[in-house]
Structure 1
Amino acid sequence: MSGFVPVLTVLVLLGAATSAHAAQTYYVRTDGGSAGQCTGLADAPYPGHGKDQACAWNSPLVALPTHDMARIDGGDTLLIGPGDYLVGWGAPGLEESERCYGDARYDCYPSAVPGGRSSDQRTRILGRGHDAGCAASPRLIGVERVDMVFNLEGSDHVEIGCLEITDRSDCIEFHTDDAVRCERDSQPFGEWASVGIWAKNSRDAWLHDLDIHGLAGRGIMAGGLRDWTLERVRINGNGWAGWDGDVGDGSSNSGDIVFRHVEIAWNGCAERWKTREIHGCWAQEAGGYGDGLGTASTGGRWLIEDSNVHHNTSDGIDLLYLDEATSTSVTIRRVRAEANAGNQVKTLGNALIEDSVIVGSCAYFNEKFDMTWSDQCRAMGNAVSIGVGDGQLATVRHNTITGEGDCLILTSGGGPSSTIAIEDNALVGNIDFLADADGNPGELTCGHYADDSRAKVLFTGNAFWNVKHDQCPPGDNLCGKAPRLADIDLDHFQPAPVAGSPLIDQATGSRGGVDFLGRPRPHGAASDIGAIEWQGEAAAAPGSNTGETRATRDKAAGPDRSGTTTATPAQRRTGVLKLPGNAGWCVEPALFMGNPLVLMSRPDFARCLLVLHAAWQSTARPGATAYRASHRAAPTSGTGGNGAGP
């Protein structure tokens, strides 16, 4: 018994010590002080004298220094005030370390965020105002060729929110154009950074209300993840890719990988840091990459919903490298994918694509920027590419799909035990861009083509219009009738059916739920074919092409496909738009481009997005170790699948 009392006492003391270490809140503000001057525990400026004062730090690098010994603990909160904060060599708060010194400026990135204690006790790195709409997100600016602005390697149970992550340069790393290429050989390198957020071996992360743009390489480079969620995140205008999941060995993901209210756009392009004007777009044939979202071989249950993936210089959503495990799947729901230079959507394995608008204007970049002819409609430009393995099911339902690639839907792989169900989709063809330019004038896109596949393909309740050979598969499909959409012209495609559309009440499935705009279906006797459920709106605007006129124009030239510089939609549009059929008001397009979080937070996000898209189209359109070791030499191009068609 005498030995029991000391042991019990020690255990009690240890428990008390653990309990005493309550989570702390630290502060960063532009008028704060260094680690020696301020404790970081008060949201107050440095008074100008003294040590260990009750005041905020002056840089996130004080909390997350380059010597990899963070001054915050797991479960703590770091609140960053409005303003600009440099990350990299020469930044306030930077401390030289074994990896960060004058001749290794690229390694002057922050230490990894310490992992939280649990899902209920996350480590939080947040902009002040995160709980009030993020009106003035602090800006983290990578400089001097720093590898990454934000480091989540090994970071579990973390929340990152209400931040802008960017650099202050117009360049792209390794670009073939001297006027666009970043300076990598001579110091000073300039105010550019390679990657916005780097993550590897990270679990249970919640990223929200982030604007990641203008990086010289990737917006997010992340792999080896488990249970990650992105909400209201914008990944735009990054020189190599938006989300690149290839981080070397250990890139495969698991658990739930969720993208919700996310915009991924203009990746493979540079951004003028002062104006956010797009320039210098390039892709794989010129030595770049350009996917909006791409991965290495990966598992995980992927969900992408209520999102917009557009104008990336290769594929939009490339999930062709899923590992086909029974636990691996992808769901794409209420997504608009448009004007990506390759395929708009690629999947492999068990998949569900529903209630989405897919506009395969894959030649949008023709004769623009630094894009080559061979980059137009990469992988034949099929709008949707679906691969399956044995015993797997892919379902494509209630989508509106158009395009100018080889086919609207390409399926591949699988045997007799595999099934691809294509149900209640509106499929609207156009002139096949590549075929038309290759001496087959007027050739149309095909509706569907099976490439090297023995999978069962079941067509039910689809509408086919203006497709090659007037394709009309067996089954209860609607063929040869003009769809009467608000506008089927590829350059300002509006998918809503109008009064008298043959799509109304003609879906064969009994599925309910909501449509692309978040409105309930069915509305009427039965659901409508396509992504949008007609609610009794009036006819289309005068002058729009509702589908009665088949595509006949020369798409090799196409409308407004010339020019080398482009203004962003925010520079083209002003004013407030009213939502049709709604007494409320939408937001200024300029506000959407400057702060998409305002739009994404709306309950009627999808409807507002559609209205803004229509307004935009009415104007002239705008033209870590394995990685860190490899990217210092010129990297190889990203990979992409090969399409095929009849």
Structure 2
Amino acid sequence: MRNSPITRLAITLILLAAAGSIAAAETWHVRADGGSAEQCTGLVDAPYSGTGKGQPCAWAHPFIALPPGGPARIAGGDTLHIGPGDYMMGYGAPDTERCHESISYNCFMTPIPSGPSPSQPTRILGAGHDNGCAQAPELWGTESAWMVVNMEGSSNVELACLEITDRGGCILSHCHNGRCGGEVAACNQGKPPLGKWATTGISARDSSQVILRDVNIHGLANRGIHAGRISDWTLERVTIWANGWAGWDGDIGPDSANSGTMIFRQVEIAFNGCAERWPQGDVFGCWAQGSGGYGDGLGTGATGGHWVFEDSRVHHNTSDGIDLLYLTDGGRVTIKRTRVEGNAGNQVKVSRASRISDSVIIGNCGYFSGHPNMHDSDHCRGLGDAVYVGMSDGAQTQLIDNVIAGQGNCLVSSGESDRHSRLLLAGNLMVGSDYWHDSRKKACLFHASSRHGGVDWLANTIGEVRHRHCPPRSRCGVEAIRDDGRLERIGFLNQGLFPSTLINRLTP
């Protein structure tokens, strides 16, 4: 059927409008030697000459593009290039006239405008984003700013080559219950000036189709990323390091559920629950729930979505490493080629449809022993089982071709299950050690809270576990571990997890 002239005209107008929206996208520039919104257009990557208004030069600060308490000067689908150097983000920075010292926590950028579509994202790009990101521009929060980067309601956004941090070297309400025996570094929440600290690196909600690439989030007083009700986020080469309460906290309140596909590729999440001393960068003051803290590397409330971890490291957080136990219907977890170790609670907690493969999971949950702000109850919290599997609601979980070792109560454990739930363990190397809370016994191989679900064992290599548990179709004992070779290849024979007697038997 032929289209009428009116139909053809309508289609033409729609296409022209779409082309116009693409053509209208602007590229803006920020650089340390730029000028104000009055002095510079922001459309040219050049310094301000020092005289004149409306000059063809860059703006001096990201707040000029995204002013606190005011409308954004950039539009959805635009690109904002941020030049080398460091930029203070909070009360006292350029373009913060709407901020007030008495509520300086409320002085943070306006939300990044959403791009028109996933193919036309709003882009915030640091210098070097297209050339290896050797020295990302630093956005550092100050004066208790609630967040450094505001993505609340921001969709179709790309952030690349940015360092997001503060310079306070403190933790919000650190050791507030008075039960710390070591260095306490509580942020000043009293009389201003409050200091060079900020609460959260990235805050996001009601946000979809987001890419974070080459972003380093570290040293914040509270959370690295606080994000809920989000969907289809991708993190590539992102570091979330030494944030005082948690790395990624997905609990923003009663309605925090996520959806879509959440991809973590070449991501490192480490030492969250600790402070980072500025400018040295050393980690100190690590604390957890015994002192009133938290410490998960990544944790969520009830959530959907498909959570994918590839080629990543999640290590030495002061509570759980990856906690995705509270998945709802349709929730899934896929973990591939990822190393999880040294977290003080469980290394990995999953439920629903989950598959962990070709990964290294080392449950040396007593790593923080000797840290004076950590309590006995913090070490191997939740019994310290290396992998915990939620087996309710017909959960289908597969652990395939992994190395799983640990000093918790068990290497793998599962919760209440139903008759439709199944757990497959195939091709894994599973090695126990002395149980942290009772060295008279080894870590057990597997414990189930319910007998309803099915467990299938296939071609695993097992040793040094309680009662010398050896399921059918398994190779067991020290010789089997030595012949397998994976424990030595991953470099874990000299990590202090296994007794010297075992190491001597495993090495030539």
TM (norm. structure 2) is 0.91
1:156 paired with 2:159, answer no
Listed one character per residue, the Cα deviations across residues 394-429 of structure 1 (whole Å, up to 9, x for unaligned) are 000100011100000011222111110011110111
2:315 counterpart (301, 310, 315)? 310
Question: Is 2:148 the partner of 1:145?
Answer: no
Give the letter aligned to residue 113 of structure 1: I
- Residue equivalent to 2:339: 336
Counterpart in 2 of 1:612?
A: none
Distance in 2 (alpha carbons) for counterparts of 1:244 and 1:542: 33
Distance in 2, matches of 1:339 and 1:226, equals: 29
**Cα distance in structure 2, aligned partners of 1:227 and 1:310:** 24
2:92 to 68, 90, 93: 90
For 1:355-434, list aligned pairs within 5 A. 355-434=358-437
Unaligned segments of structure 2, at least 5 residues: 1-5
How far off is 1:547 after superposition? 9.4
Query: How far, CA to CA, are the matches of 1:138 and 1:265 in structure 2?
Result: 22
1:260-275 correspondence runs (5 A): 260-275=265-280
1:444 to 437, 442, 445: 442
- For the residues of structure 2 that align with 1:209 and 1:46, how far apart are their CA atoms? 29
% same residue: 49
Residues 345, 13 of structure 1: alpha-carbon distance in 2 compared, 3 angstrom cutoff: closer
Partner secondary structure for residue 502 of structure 1 = helix
Distance 2:14 2:460 in 1: 69
1:57-93: CA deviation from partner (whole Å, max 9, x where unpaired): 1110000011241000011000000101011000123
Q: Indicate conservation of the 8 Å contact 2:392/2:418, yes or no.
A: yes
What amino acid maps onto 1:502 in structure 2? D
Provide Cα deviations, 1:592-614, integer angstroms capped at 9, x if missing partner: xxxxxxxxxxxxxxxxxxxxxxx
Distance 1:393 1:404 in 2: 26
Q: Which of 477, 484, 495 matches 1:503?
A: 484
Task: Tell me how far apart the structure 1 counterparts of residues 125 and 288 of structure 2 sit (CA, whole Å).
Answer: 34
1:69 aligns with 71
**For the residues of structure 1 that align with 2:395 and 2:401, how far apart are their CA atoms?**
20
The corresponding residue for 2:209 is: 204
Contact 1:27 1:41 (8 Å CA) reproduced: yes
In structure 1, distance between residues paired with 2:301 and 2:70: 28
Number of the residue aligned with 2:476: 479
Q: Would you say the 8 A contact 1:482–1:548 is kept in 2?
A: no
How much does 1:155 deviate? 0.7
Evaluate the alpha carbon distance shift between residue 542 and residue 165 of structure 1 in structure 2; reply closer, same or farther with a 3 A threshold: closer
Q: Secondary structure at the match of 2:64?
A: helix
**What letter is aligned with 1:480?**
G
2:438 is paired with a residue whose SS is helix
CA–CA distance in structure 2, aligned partners of residues 13 and 74 of structure 1: 19
Higher strand share: 2
> 1:532 offset after TM fit, Å?
9.8
Provide, for residues 105-140 of structure 1, a one-character-per-residue CA deviation record: whole Å limited to 9, x for no partner: 000010110000111111000101100000110000
Task: Give the corresponding residue for 2:3.
Answer: none
Give the drift of 1:186.
1.1
Instruction: Letter of the 2:355 partner, please give it.
Output: L
Q: 2:290 aligns with which of 270, 285, 288?
A: 285
Cα distance change of structure 1 residues 531 and 21 upon mapping to structure 2, 3 Å threshold: farther
The separation in 2 between residues aligned to 1:551 and 1:12, in whole angstroms, is 70
Flag the 1:541–1:412 CA change in 2: closer, same or farther, 3 A: closer
- Partner Cα separation in structure 1 for residue 284 and residue 225 of structure 2: 20
Q: Deviations over 1:352-399 (max 9, x none)?
A: 011111111101111214111111100000001011223221000100
Q: What is the SS of the residue equivalent to 2:442?
A: coil
* Residues 13, 213 of structure 1: alpha-carbon distance in 2 compared, 3 angstrom cutoff: closer
**Please, which runs of 5 or more residues in structure 1 have no aligned partner?**
485-500, 505-529, 553-646
- 1:531/1:224 CA distance change after superposition, 3 Å: farther
SS of corresponding position for 1:330: strand
TM-superposed CA distance for 1:14, in Å, is 9.0
What is the CA–CA distance in structure 1 between the aligned matches of 2:380 and 2:298, rounded to whole Å? Answer: 17
The aligned residue for residue 298 of structure 1 is 303
Offset, 1:11 = 6.5
1:185 deviation in Å? 1.3
Q: 1:479 to 1:106 in 2, by over 3 A?
A: same
Q: Return the letter of the residue paired with 2:387.
A: V
Give 1:544 shift. Answer: 11
CA distance in 2, matches of 1:233, 1:248: 25
Residues 422-461 of structure 1 show CA distances to partners (whole Å, capped at 9, x for unaligned) of 111101110001022xxxx3x1000111113411000111
Q: Distance in 2 between matches of 1:543 and 1:274?
A: 29
CA distance in structure 1 between the aligned counterparts of 2:16 and 2:267, rounded to whole angstroms: 44
Query: What SS does the aligned partner of 2:419 have?
Result: coil
Alignment of 1:459-478 (within 5 A): 459-473=457-471, 475-478=472-475
SS in 2 for 1:550: helix
Alpha-carbon offset, residue 12 of structure 1: 9.1
- Paired with 1:532 and 1:340, the residues of 2 have a C-alpha distance of 21
Deviates more, 1:145-154 or 1:367-376: 367-376
Deviation at 1:550, TM superposition (A): 3.1
Deviations 1:481-523 (A, max 9, x none): 4345xxxxxxxxxxxxxxxx4327xxxxxxxxxxxxxxxxxxx
Measured against aligned partners, the alpha-carbon deviations of 1:25-83 in whole angstroms (never above 9, x if no partner) come to: 00000001111111100000111011111110111000001124100001100000010
User: Is this contact kept in 2: 1:464–1:479, CA < 8 A?
Assistant: yes
Q: CA RMSD in A?
A: 2.6
Query: Which residue does 1:120 correspond to in 2?
Result: 119
Q: Deviations over 1:523-556 (max 9, x none)?
A: xxxxxxx69999xxxx99999999994389xxxx
Aligned match of 2:106: 107
CA separation in 2, counterparts of 1:243 and 1:118? 26
The total of aligned residue pairs comes to 490
Indicate conservation of the 8 Å contact 1:349/1:393, yes or no. Answer: yes
The alpha-carbon distance between structure 1 residues 149 and 296, as it changes in their structure 2 partners (threshold 3 A), is same
Compute the displacement of 1:103 (Å). Answer: 1.4
